[in-house]
Amino acid sequence: NAGVTQTPKFRILKIGQSMTLQCTQDMNHNYMYWYRQDPGMGLKLIYYSVGAGITDKGEVPNGYNVSRSTTEDFPLRLELAAPSQTSVYFCASSYSPLVLGKRYTEAFFGQGTRLTVV
Amino acid sequence: GENVEQHPSTLSVQEGDSAVIKCTYSDSASNYFPWYKQELGKRPQLIIDIRSNVGEKKDQRIAVTLNKTAKHFSLHITETQPEDSAVYFCAARITGGGNKLTFGTGTQLKVEL
């Protein structure tokens, strides 16, 4: 059971380039999330999805786009990369509380993608 | 939206001592409060959580307390060991809305020999 897998682990982009961060999970979780982690700032939610075909903005969505065509995959797209997007990006997933008949469900994180924009 | 504040940002303790990390939240509708541990270069992992209808929860050397009236919750680690050295994040979740978590800014805990 691989859990949440992110690729690539590291990437250097030039200003103005585009790229897609890949995230896939094999736990059949219906909820998925993208966070960015900056030093001393904790984790900020970029986008999230409650199921295939449904996405919504988090706290810091500007400069990013997502799609959710399958339950397993939740790619994050960066268009026109900027130095402010230098960060560590984490994908996470969880069950909907309703699926497990619980009010609270744990979020599982991928290993992260360290992105540098120069 | 929800705002979570976490203190201190760094904490250094001697091995065997206790460590306490405190968080406050702003939205009284928050009802779930997990704590994540992140070792250097690794992913955050859940270590303990507490629901809004519980005041305290304990799991071996770690415990979490919640004061709903004051809107604050704390992580307590007793008999600290070098392997407890990591960054700890608190978080809060509001009912509904995709199970989203709002995280604190993290506490770098260093356990010295």
Residues making up chain B, counted from first to last: 113
Nearest to B23 by CA among B2, B37, B5, B9: B5
Spatial distance between the Cα atoms of B91 and B35, rounded to a whole number of angstroms: 6
Residues making up chain A, counted from first to last: 118
pLDDT tens, N- to C-terminus, chain A (118 residues): 689 999 999 999 999 999 999 999 999 998 999 999 998 788 999 999 999 999 999 999 999 999 999 999 999 999 999 999 999 999 999 887 666 666 667 889 999 999 999 9
The nearest alpha carbon in chain A to B36 belongs to A107
Spatial distance between the Cα atoms of B46 and B36, rounded to a whole number of angstroms: 4
Chain A hits for B57, Cβ within 8 Å: none
Spatial distance between the Cα atoms of B18 and A91, rounded to a whole number of angstroms: 32
Chain B hits for A10, Cβ within 8 Å: none
Using 50, 70 and 90 to split pLDDT, how confident is the model at B97?
A: low
The answer to whether A3 faces chain B, any CB pair under 8 Å, is: no
Chain B hits for A103, Cβ within 8 Å: 31-32, 51, 95
Nearest to B100 by CA among B27, B47, B38: B27
The nearest alpha carbon in chain A to B88 belongs to A42
